[in-house]
A and B are shown apart, each in its own frame.
Chain A
Amino acid sequence: MIRKLFYFSSPQNFYPLAGKLWPLFACLATVLTVWGLWLGMFVAPTDVQQGEGYRIIYVHVPVSWMSMVIYLAMAFWALLGLTFNTRLSGMLTCALAPTGAIFAFLSLWTGALWGKPMWGTWWVWDARLTSELILFFLYLGFIALTSAIDDARRADKAGAILALVGALNVPVIYFSVKWWNTLHQGASVSLTKGSSMQQTMLEAMLIMAVAFWMYAIAMTLYRVRSIILIRERHSQWVADLPEVKALSLEARA
């Protein structure tokens, strides 16, 4: 098992695996999104207090979860990359970052769309909004740092250190802004207390969460394939790939 894992930690071996896996995850993501949205938009009942407008939570909550999960995943790969000095870890960290940034941005945007009818304002300086905004800045900082360094290995390591420092800081930032000011409604879903939501609503939200999770995996695998090709473009195995060969033949013709 361990041997198998290390086998796939080489970009050369991971490239075909990612190529096989990403369409699978993309299909799952599509099917689950359609199912989840159908449940959320047509089956789930209208909320007593919030009317139809509440339905944006089927996008908002999963997107916010994913923006945090992806940062954790980045920290995980960063730690792995620094300890085992594997090249693939750095590539995966880089591949995760744009998806995480998009999720953080969507979380802020959908939150604003929900906040306008519910709170009467697009933006409040509330703990969760503020920490989500800072998380978005952390993503941007990571992307800016890794793309500013030309040497790919150095970019990976510097990015890994930044991701770890950021991951240590995320809880501190969260609690500091929480004590600073709080208006956001309490968490509707918690593992300890059970959920205060209706069954169908919860189901739809969880399905959407899994759907976005699959989407994130598919996008990451897709992106990491491109990163592998760019970084290994001078190596023989890339030149031997059938799709690369076809391209170079085309270019010659």
Chain B
Amino acid sequence: MSAFAAVLKRDLVLALRRKNEVITSVFFFVVVAALFPLGIGPEMNTLRLVGPGILWVGALLASMLSLGRMFAADYADGSLEQMALSPHSLSVLVASKILAHWILSGLPLVLLAPVLGLQFDLSANALWILTLSLLLGTPVLSLIGAVGAALTLGVRGGDVLLTLLVLPLYVPALVFGAGAVQAEISGLGASAHLSILSAMVLVAAVFSPWASAAALRVALES
């Protein structure tokens, strides 16, 4: 547990020393959300319909931007190898790194989403559900993304490859995340969608650190 906290603290401190990387992906989210109305047109009825989906796809892409950095620096300077050699379980350390990634790239999106949702004229209820669905959904993105990041570590053209591997696996989170908001808007109620999202977080939290650690060991072997 202390190792978990130590890695978490270290990752957060390192990221805060280089704030621009964190800010870039958040800013990316804001820009993408602003580009869609420009492309679609300012018709409010249309925007209200597509808003949840656009914000969710934006969150997906923004959290993916920073995935490549999850292990890259530690891999380059050898500290990842030290983590693998340490007596602590690598899965626990990886889980801590995933949590750090979520705090740095997922949480800001969750906090920003209601503000961006206003641009799409979402109702107060829908904004609330959007925030909640992102709060439950963005950890899934970090968890699944970690496996992809570990698999493409040190691989030629890894960043592009990462998107190809991870995006199809993001589909369920996207479907239920954006679906929750749509269901709320259409009056069906979002509780079923949110329950399924929570189930996904739990399942991903069990499997992902373990699979990522296995993938990291493969990357470190060669």
Contact = CB atoms under 8 A, between A and B. Distances in A.
A250 interface: no
A116 interface: no
A161 interface: yes
A145 B165 contact: yes
Interface stretch (A22-30, A36-44, A95-103, A166-174): A166-174
B186 interface: no
Interface stretch (B65-73, B127-135, B210-218): B210-218
A145 B164 CA distance: 9
Interface in A115-169: 134, 137-138, 140-141, 144-145, 148-151, 153-154, 157-158, 161-162, 164-166, 168-169
Interface stretch (B7-15, B54-62, B92-100, B149-157): B149-157
Interface residues of A, number: 29
A172 B215 contact: no
A153 B222 contact: yes
A137 B167 contact: yes
Given A141-B164, A154-B219, A176-B176, 6 more contacts: A144-B164, A145-B165, A157-B221, A162-B165, A165-B169, A176-B171
Give 6 closest A-B pairs by Cβ, nearest first. A176-B172, A137-B168, A157-B218, A154-B222, A141-B165, A176-B175
27 contacts: A134-B168, A137-B164, A137-B167, A137-B168, A141-B164, A141-B168, A144-B161, A144-B165, A145-B151, A148-B158, A149-B155, A154-B219, A157-B218, A158-B151, A158-B218, A161-B147, A161-B218, A162-B151, A169-B172, A172-B172, A172-B200, A173-B171, A173-B172, A176-B172, A177-B171, A180-B175, A180-B179
